[in-house]
Structure formats: structure tokens, C-alpha cells
Structure 1
């Protein structure tokens, strides 16, 4: 067992850009795509992830985050809980006991769900199983029960898999990703909120007709509606608020213009990296469809489950995110009771909107309103979970002093510290113990059974149409 756990610990330490090519190559061979074709697909996906990381780290990490930090210091914002970012959250999660077993456990859960027709997604994004481990680690702490923590991680994964299945047709339509679903522990958790508010908008006369469509805006305004211009304008605004100083005009101009051009580049480069990812995934997706149709007549469509990074490049998603990034700082200061200072995870705010965009059918107005709601909820959740996240960090020996400058500072994160599903599962276990765990378990099983019925119905309709 130690050897098995050590092997999967080694795999997780490789990172997504190395793990995904290996997984995609193996999966392609299993599905009959051939070694050469599978290897090319895997390497293309890996290169796409490296490109995304370069854009995110080099442009967002070194441009957006420092600009926002400068805004925070300039306007005297004083919040006591530090957002240490998703890399720290992932390290804390994978360093926990739940994290040591989450990859083999997640693979088993996925296989069982496929065999029982409770999912139609082959989730190859095993690196992001850390989101489930994060929930499990918090539950283990709040209940002082490792078994409940492991169960919580499994239930979290099942819920996310079902939501990934349900939203897959919208992902295909809106994001242009055939055969792909996004069972991502962070992104997908916001889908139910988006569905709820989208349904509310549909029932409000006048409001239901408001539509800010980024694609139409590009056509209407020509060059001024293009992503690079929109990103640059947003960047110039953030840069002006952060760096303008009438006493140092030349230095201010350089910093403001650099911020503007950098964020304009983000809205151009991220979609191109996402397109590279899709280039690698299309042959695997096609092979998966053929494989299933030949061997499993009682199944509907099979999806390849991926990191939601593949959908970050949608222009509506990026535009909404960069409008809301500075607003998030304002909310953090104005919301009574919030203690979290958003910082390290500001670069991953777009991940919150990857599924919101297709759910609202690319409507920028609805996306912005729902975005304000999820950011508000997220800040309160991150504040509430901060003591547990800090304890989890201490349990695995995380260097809080190195990350924050003070060993006694509480830490949190936007990803996954602001995750509504993580919060619900954690607090249900913490407040009600075994009863809360049982309630979450029953609801999860009911959701899986419902999904099975939906999948079988889809399969019957598909095969009837073919006949």
C-alpha cells in the first residue's frame, strides 16, 4: 500500500502539464487512437497547459496581482486574513492524509460511476482531484474523524461529476468543445448558483430582455470591441488606480501602459492556448465516442473531463472576470464581516466564470450580476473557513510565516477557500456530525440516481434516432 500511495504521490507532484500528456496518451491508446496519434494529442495538451501557465504566471501573476496589491496599499485597505492562492491550497490538500489517497480513490470512484451509468464523464484531469482532497481535509479537521473526511471527498467528487455531465451540452455549444465536460471542483461548484439566478432572470419582465453580448459588441464597435482593446482598457483603468502619481509622471505612465498592454495580451493569448488544448483533445474525444458506440449500446454520449482552464479563454468569461477583479477588492473592504484580503488568487477569478458563461448563454449582463453574487458569497465563505484552512496548513507543516510574513496570521484562498460546495459539505459535517454526513450522502446518492435515469433516457433516444 505504501508503494502504491508513493507512486500516486509522485504522479501528483509532476504537475498538470506533465501528468496530462501521460494520461491522454494512455487513454488514446486504450480507446484505439493509436500510439503516434495519442502521443501527439497528449503532448499538444501538455504544451497548451504550459502556455496557459506562462500567460497566467508571467502576465497575470506579475502584472495584475501587484497592481491590485498597490491599490490595496494606496487606499489603506486593512483585512486580517491573507489569500495565499491556489498553489498553497493544493499543497495543503495534497499534503493531508486524504490527499495521499485521493488520486487512486478518485479513479476508483470514476470507474464505479461509469460502470453504474451514474456518470458519462471519463475524468482524466486527475491533478485537480486536489479540490476533493481539500474538502476532505477540512471535514477531517472539523469532525476530528478521518473516515468522514474521506467520505466527504468522495461525495464532493460525485456531485461535481454529475454537474459536469449536466452542463456538458452547454459547454459544447457555448465554448465550442465537442465531447468535453468540466468536472472541476472549483469552477463547477458555481454552476448551481448560476442556474438559480438565470432562472430568476428569466421570470423578471424587462430584466430578462437585457443582454450584453461580447461577440455582438465586437461586431458593433469594430476594433474597439475586440478582446485586446477591452483588456487594454480594463488594464489601463486598474493601472491608473494603482500607479498614477502626479509627482512621478514618467514612471506612472510606464506602469499604467505596461498594465494595459499586459492585460490586453491576456485576452488574446489565453484563447489561443485554449485552442491548442482543444487541438489535442479532439482526436481523443472522437476515439472515445467511437469506442463507446461500438462496445456499450446502453450508454449515451461519453465526455472527456478536463480542467476548466480550457474554457478560460472565452471572451465573455475573461471580460466579466477583469471587470469584477477590482470590484472584488471594493467588496472585500465594504462587506461587513469579511476579513479576507484577496491577493494571490485574483489571477484565477476567471475560473469562477467558466461555466457561468455558457449557463447564461454568453449574456454579459447576467454574468456580471451573478459574478457579484458569487464573489460576495465567496468572500464570506473564505472568511468562515479561514480558521480550518489555517489549521490544515499547520497540520501539514505549511510555511505560513513565509507566505504571509507572520506565523500567527490566518490564511484562506479564493480557490478553494471560497468554494460554496466545499463550505456546505464541511459545515454540514461540522454542525451535525454523522447526521449531517448522512444527509449529504443521501442527497448525493439521489443526485447520482437521477443522473443515471437521465443518461439512460439520453441513450435510448440516441439509439432510437440512429435506428
Structure 2
């Protein structure tokens, strides 16, 4: 685990080139070509991280001022996904979960129940966090590990089922997404799309980015939409013009730069992916294989970025009006973009349908976050994760996997078994 933690601490921008270089060598890519492909992936992820950080750093102060301006006073503070990640990686279960997750992937491949070779090891914290909460409520390491691996198995099933539609929409061959948070909401996106598609009037609303551009001209261009949304968020925060305009430019920059950084990453991935496909077809002529990747590759889609910006103020309004909700959306507001990243193909890239799905997702996350706040707070204290809370305040994470229906159900089942 000391070796593994050292690798993880280097971050995706270092370890992904190493992983892709090794995978390239395994699949008979020439060392020079494998090195270039691996470095291209690393450079792409560096660019993605830089652009995402630009978004987070720009929207963070705006969302903070929005929260203060709305006068929200809720007792469960959204401490952000980074807090959840710290809890997950600090868990005493992590050695068993890492070994179990790798073993589960190998077994599923061996019995031909998955096409995915998941190399997204950085998101093991998603399943580890849920397993840690199960461990917290049961006191049982085996039950905690079982809860984590059950969530991982469900994520694999969804990853396999969604791979083709996502590949077709995003035009990325040979990849899939074993994501314990985003993937769980794909069935909800499918349901929303079906329901709206059968409601007169609503079914005619088509907010596809290309159609918006065609209808509105320059005002429908992604850069214009992003600028308008940035101005709107700045005004909602109560900022003066000299702060609103830089925010608008930064949001527009994200809209333009993020897809380009994703393209750089995909360029490197495709070199190794194509070599892997050729090699594996010789060994298994009737099978197809995908690389499991981080959903950061998906958030550059204009319909995802624009919809996530609309969901920021909408999430604050939901937090105010939902009866029984105690969670205050805060740190993770800018990360909502990840929650809706896998539903877009199943909502036909229609931003109206994605937005409605997003509202339901946020509603679920708020209620589940309120329900499990005591357990999340206690788990943070046990893991010695520093949190900023005062008095009777508890903490949570708006985009964490324990707030999804599946994650919540696993933890609640642990409560029943553990008698808590």
C-alpha cells in the first residue's frame, strides 16, 4: 500500500503516461511510439485539469457569494468531493478494496462478463467511500469491502451497457466508464427522456446545441451561451461589472478549451487502444475490449457544460424549497458537470431533458446527503480529515457516490445489518 499510495499521490498526469506506456509495451507497440502516446495522454490530462481548475476557481467565489446572498442557513455543509476522496483513501479497508477491485475486473474478463479493462484507478475512492460508510455502521471490514465491491460490480454492468451509446455520441472508440456516481444515473436519464418524449408540448422542446446555434445564430454559439451564463452567475452572486466580465470570459474559455484538451487526451488513448484491439483480436477473435477511463473525458461536451452552469443556481433554489433538506450545496456546485456527464447520450443531447434529469439528480443527492450526513461526518472524524464545520453543523458531499440511490441503499442495508 505504501507503493500504491506513492503512485496515487503523483496524480493522474504522471501515472496515466506510465500506465499507457506499460500497456502499449504489453500490446507490442514500439517503445518510442508508446512513450509518445503515454505522454500525449498525460499532457491531455494536464490540460483538462488546468481547465477544470479554472472553472472551479472561477465559480467557487461566485457560488460562495450566491449562497450568502440567498441567505441559506442549512446544517449540513457540502464539504466537497475532495473530502470524500480523502476519507476513501484513508480508510483501513483500502488495501482489501484495491486488491478486490482488481481481482473482480480480472474475474469478469476471464468469464467474459465484461469488455472493460478498467485503468481508472484514481476513482477507486468512490467505491472505497461507500465501503467505509458501511464499515462505519457495521464495524465489519468484510461487510465494508463487500459493499464497495457490490457498487463496483454495478458500475461495471452500467459501464458495459452504456459504452456504445457514449462512444457514438462523444466519438471516442474503445472506451467505457466504470463510474460509481455518474453511471448510476443513466437509468434516470433514460426514464426522463422517455417520459418527456410522451408529453405533448414538452416533447417538441429541442435544445440540442446545434439546433440552438442554427436558430439563434451567433447568440446560440457555445462561446456566446457560456458568456451569457457566466454573466448571469456573476449577477446572481451580486458582483460588480469588473468582476462579472472576467468570470464570463473564464467560463467561455472553459467551453472552448476543455473539448480541445479532451481531443489531445483521446489522441494518445487511441494509439494504445488501436494496438490493444489488434493484439487482443488475435488472441480472442470474437471479443471486444474497452479501456475504463475517467469521466473527465466527457465533460467537454457543450450541452454538458452549459446545462451544468444552469444547474448551479437551480441547486441552490432546490436546497431552499425542498422540505426536509438540510444540505447546503457549496463546494461541489461547480462539479455538477460530472453528475450529468453520462446521461447526455440517453437524453439525445437535449439540454432541456438533461436539465430536468439534473434537477432530479440534485434532489436525490440532497436528500441522501441529508440522511447520511451523521455517518459521513463521523467517518471524516475517524479518518482525521480536517473539515470546516461549527457547532451542530455536519458535512457531506453533493456529488459523492454514497448519495446516489445505489450507494445510499448499500449504506442503509449496512445499517440494518449492523443494527444502527
**TM-score with structure 1 length normalisation?**
0.86
Q: Distance in 1 between matches of 2:275 and 2:179?
A: 23
Distance 1:407 1:99 in 2: 31
Structure 2 CA distance for aligned equivalents of residues 202 and 10 of structure 1: 49
What does residue 463 of structure 1 align with? none
In structure 2, the CA distance between the partners of 1:103 and 1:22, relative to structure 1 (3 Å rule), is: farther
**1:296, distance to aligned residue in structure 2 (A):** 1.0
Residue 38 of structure 1 corresponds to 34
What TM-score, normalized by structure 2, do the two folds share? 0.95
Deviation larger for 143-152 or 308-317: 143-152
- Structure 1 residue 288, shift from structure 2 partner: 2.0
Q: Residue 277 of structure 2 is aligned with which of 274, 285, 289? A: 289
Question: CA separation in 2, counterparts of 1:63 and 1:32?
Answer: 43
Q: Which moved more, 1:75-84 or 1:408-417?
A: 408-417
Poorly superposed stretches of 4+, deviation over 6 Å = none
Q: 1:103 to 1:44 in 2, by over 3 A?
A: farther
Note the C-alpha offset of 1:203: 3.8
Partner of 1:164: 159
Equivalent residues of 2:186, 2:343 under 8 A apart = yes
Aligned match of 1:395: 382
For residue 432 of structure 1, report the CA deviation from its aligned partner.
Answer: 4.6
2:295 counterpart (294, 299, 308): 308
- Distance of aligned partners of 1:379 and 1:180 in 2 relative to their CA distance in 1, 3 Å threshold: same
Compute the displacement of 1:206 (Å). 4.4
Of 26, 42, 51 in structure 2, the residue corresponding to residue 55 of structure 1 is: 51
**How far did 1:127 drift?**
0.9
Distance verdict in 2 for CA 1:86–1:356, change over 3 Å: same
Count of paired positions:
418
Q: Distance in 1 between matches of 2:418 and 2:192?
A: 31
- Equivalent residue number for residue 23 of structure 2: 27
Equivalent in 332, 349, 355 of residue 345 of structure 1: 332
Structure 1 residues without counterparts, runs of 5 or longer: 245-251, 435-467
Shift in Å, 1:230: 0.7
Work out whether 1:268 is the aligned partner of 2:264. no
Distance 2:272 2:182 in 1: 23
Contact persistence 2:139–2:418 (CA under 8 A): no
Q: 1:420 aligns with which of 394, 405, 420?
A: 405
Contact 1:8–1:104 (8 Å) recurs in 2: no
**In 2, Cα distance between the equivalents of 1:253 and 1:199?**
42
CA deviation vs aligned residue, 1:34-65 (integer Å, no higher than 9, x gap): 222222222111222221221222x2222212
5 Å-filtered alignment, 1:182-331, equals 182-244=177-239, 252-299=240-287, 301-331=288-318
1:439 match: none
Displacement of 1:30:
1.1
Q: Map Cα deviations across residues 317-371 of structure 1 (whole Å, 9 max, x no partner).
A: 1111111111111111111111111111112110011111011121112111111
Task: Give the match's secondary structure for 1:304.
Answer: strand
Please state how far the C-alpha of 1:205 moved relative to its aligned partner. Answer: 4.4
2:15 matches 1:12: no
SS of the residue 1:344 aligns to:
coil
Pair 1:109-2:97 in alignment: no
Shift of 1:405: 4.8
Q: How far off its partner does 1:278 sit?
A: 0.8
- TM-superposition CA deviations, 1:434-465 (whole Å, max 9, x none): 9xxxxxxxxxxxxxxxxxxxxxxxxxxxxxxx
**Is the CA contact (8 Å cut-off) linking 1:142 and 1:430 kept in structure 2?**
yes
How far the C-alpha of 1:221 sits from its partner, in A, is 2.4
| Structure number having the greater helix percentage | 1
Alpha carbon RMSD of aligned pairs, Å?
A: 1.7
Indicate conservation of the 8 Å contact 1:353/1:371, yes or no.
Answer: yes
Pairing partner for 2:394 from 391, 410, 422: 410
SS, match of residue 42 in structure 1? helix
The equivalent residue for 1:451 is none
CA contact (8 A) 1:177 1:278 kept: yes
Q: Secondary structure at the match of 2:332?
A: helix
